[in-house]
Chains A and B, each alone.
Chain A
Amino acid sequence: MQTKRTVFHSRVLPYFLLAPQLIITLIFFVWPAAQAIWQSFLRQDPFGLKATFVWFANYTRLLDDPDYLNALGATFVFSVGVTVLSMGLSLLFAVCVNRVLRSGRFYTTLLVWPYAVAPAAAGLLWWFMFNPSVGIIPYLLSFLGYEWNHRLHTGDAMVLIIIAAAWKQISYNFLFFVAGLQSVPQSLTEAAAIDGAGPFKRFWTVVFPLLSPTTFFLAVINITYAMFDTFGIVDATTSGGPSQSTNILVYKVYADGFIGLNLGPSAAQSVILMLIVVVLTVVQFRWIERKVQY
């Protein structure tokens, strides 16, 4: 690993400098994670008096549990929904902003601020928009003959959290797409134009393929976001309901652990989530090393 050609010489100073970060990491990150792994192999008796080592019984039971499989399915639908909706809109806006050079900055300012809104607050904003008694969207939908109620209809609840989560993520994707578009060489689009390609053809055959590294990177980031940073949105709007339709994995870990107090199964869920983060992080870092090749 890289350092400077010449370095300072000191036996103790570097350890002092690293100490705060390492101590916090060990106490609040590594130790709890190790505890979770250890507990995922144990089963407590109903009184919490003794625990027996049960190998992978917690995991097998989890994978047989229809509620857990349901949460996996919900997480999948949610992540894909958020990623596609948010990236699609952001790409559209980024392409437009890239076309209007002069007023681009103005539009950018108006599009980036939702990044700062807390997930719980974003959830509440859309919860209000979709409120079955006074919300404006159910009101408009009622003219189309659709009766919106995310407290009763499972599909409505999923749509609500997807929209709230995608809304918050648009600004992030937008900024990265704009940066990606600006690095596409102007000469290529000009050459394509001389060859007679119209704006749409130029975009799909020249610009979009060149954007694929950005697109791939953002897809990974968005899936990570949808899976792990959306706890506040779910908690503030649907709390996992109705009938568990929006009980995504991060929410289920919390609900089973803190409300249900099922230590073993909850720990097994934690470990599975950690594995998912590890995979996503590795994919993300490989992208940085190699980018996408043609």
Chain B
Amino acid sequence: MVENRPFLNFLTHLVLILGVLTVVFPVYLAFIASTHGPTDFMSGIVPLLPGDQFSANYGYLLGTGESTAGAPPFLLMLGNSLAMAIMIAVGKIAISIISAFAIVYFRFPLRVPAFWLIFMTLMLPVEVRILPTYKVVADLGMLNSYSGLVIPVIASATATFLFRQFFLTVPEEMMEAARVDGAGPMKFFRDILLPLSRTNIAALFIIMFIYGWNQYLWPMLITTEPQYYTVVMGIKRLASVLDGDNQWNLVMAGVILAGLPPVLVIIFMQRLFVKGLVETEK
């Protein structure tokens, strides 16, 4: 700090505290609402202090759910989301790290076209080519399956670029030494490159886990059987049905359940998260 200005320090903290309150308040309100019974909203204003229906609401959602509203028990949907998010994250990292290895450590005729083909996926988000992609997945018989949820979104230009950038910074001597010692490409990859990439893999895993968990449009389109529903799409169905019944306590409990896992990941692995976020954008 250049000079000491007590008033400005006070102002800085004031702005930050107000900022944090604004950012946190919607979630606080949602949590409060989720601890009340439905009749507590009748007065026309949301209560600001916790109620006593916490375990009743969450227990009901987790165990029973609102099957008529298209929201099966949340335990099932949370499990599906977790499985989908982990499969997407692991899949993206696995196929990207081997493509980056091929692009950096080999020279072969179709190297540059392959690189550009991977690059193109950046320019084709699911949302813009939704109908033909749906048709491809339907033709392949992948509707209502985990493979349909995961495989079509698993190609990743960002992850490939990140690993490519990282591999380019690995000293040449590493590979030369490995070759002198008689290691083949796959042995070098497994014993040297993979251990060196550990932090990058972890950082990327967090970003991709959040990406996978928050998938919305894609699961909504390709799952019609409740056993494959994911939680983020579940809360929307819950909201559109229960809004009419004024059961906002259950809707908000659903929002909290859907949002909590990825938020906890960020809070507990903040350093890796920041690293992943900043580096995937380079």
B residues 23-77 in Cβ contact with A at 8 Å: 23-27, 29-30, 33, 41, 44-46
Q: A14-B102, A193-B3 are in contact. Are A116 and B265 (CB under 8 A)?
A: yes
Q: Is A17 an interface residue (CB 8 A)?
A: yes
Cβ of B131 and Cβ of A36 under 8 Å apart? Answer: yes
Interface Cβ pair total, 8 Å cutoff: 306
The 8 A CB mask of A204-232 against B (1 = contact, 0 = none) is: 00000000000001000100000010011
- Give the size of the chain A interface in residues (CB under 8 angstroms): 101
Q: Is A292 an interface residue (CB 8 A)?
A: no
A121: shortest Cβ distance to chain B, in Å? 5
Q: A17-B101, A96-B12, A100-B16 are in contact. Are A124 and B239 (CB under 8 A)?
A: yes
Q: A3-B105, A121-B235, A126-B26 are in contact. Are A25 and B120 (CB under 8 A)?
A: yes
Q: Is A97 an interface residue (CB 8 A)?
A: yes
* Bound: A267/B239 CA distance, A: 30
Cβ of B23 and Cβ of A114 under 8 Å apart? Answer: yes
* Bound: A119/B94 CA distance, A: 27
- Give the size of the chain B interface in residues (CB under 8 angstroms): 107
Cβ of A113 and Cβ of B263 under 8 Å apart? Answer: yes
Q: Is A76 an interface residue (CB 8 A)?
A: no
Closest to B213 in A: A118
* Bound: A18/B101 CA distance, A: 9
Cβ of A113 and Cβ of B266 under 8 Å apart? Answer: yes
* Bound: A167/B133 CA distance, A: 31
Cβ of A100 and Cβ of B9 under 8 Å apart? Answer: yes
Cβ of A21 and Cβ of B12 under 8 Å apart? Answer: no
* Bound: A235/B185 CA distance, A: 48
Q: Is A1 an interface residue (CB 8 A)?
A: yes
Contact of B258 among A22, A93, A121, A131 (CB under 8 A): A121
Q: Is B192 an interface residue (CB 8 A)?
A: no
* Bound: A119/B160 CA distance, A: 25
Cβ of A267 and Cβ of B277 under 8 Å apart? Answer: no
Interface centre among B118, B127, B282 (most CB of A within 10 A): B127
Residues of A near B27 (CB, < 8 A) are: 125
Main SS of the interface on chain A? Answer: helix
Q: A258-B130, A258-B131, A273-B128 are in contact. Are A29 and B99 (CB under 8 A)?
A: no
Contact of B221 among A172, A193, A228, A258 (CB under 8 A): A258
Residues of A near B133 (CB, < 8 A) are: 28, 32
Interface centre among B26, B98, B136, B266 (most CB of A within 10 A): B26
Residues of A near B5 (CB, < 8 A) are: 199
* Bound: A230/B262 CA distance, A: 18
Q: A18-B99, A29-B121, A111-B19 are in contact. Are A99 and B132 (CB under 8 A)?
A: no
A265: shortest Cβ distance to chain B, in Å? 11
Q: Which of A48-56, A57-65, A133-141 contacts B (4 or more CB under 8 A)?
A: A133-141
Cβ of B120 and Cβ of A29 under 8 Å apart? Answer: yes
* Bound: A127/B134 CA distance, A: 29
Q: Is B200 an interface residue (CB 8 A)?
A: no
Cβ of B46 and Cβ of A136 under 8 Å apart? Answer: yes
Residues of B near A127 (CB, < 8 A) are: 239
Cβ of A107 and Cβ of B172 under 8 Å apart? Answer: no
Q: Is A270 an interface residue (CB 8 A)?
A: yes
Residues of B near A120 (CB, < 8 A) are: 216, 232-233, 235-236
Which 3 pairs, one residue from A and one from B, show the smallest C-beta to C-beta distance? A32-B132, A116-B262, A17-B102
* Bound: A55/B23 CA distance, A: 49
Q: Is B196 an interface residue (CB 8 A)?
A: no
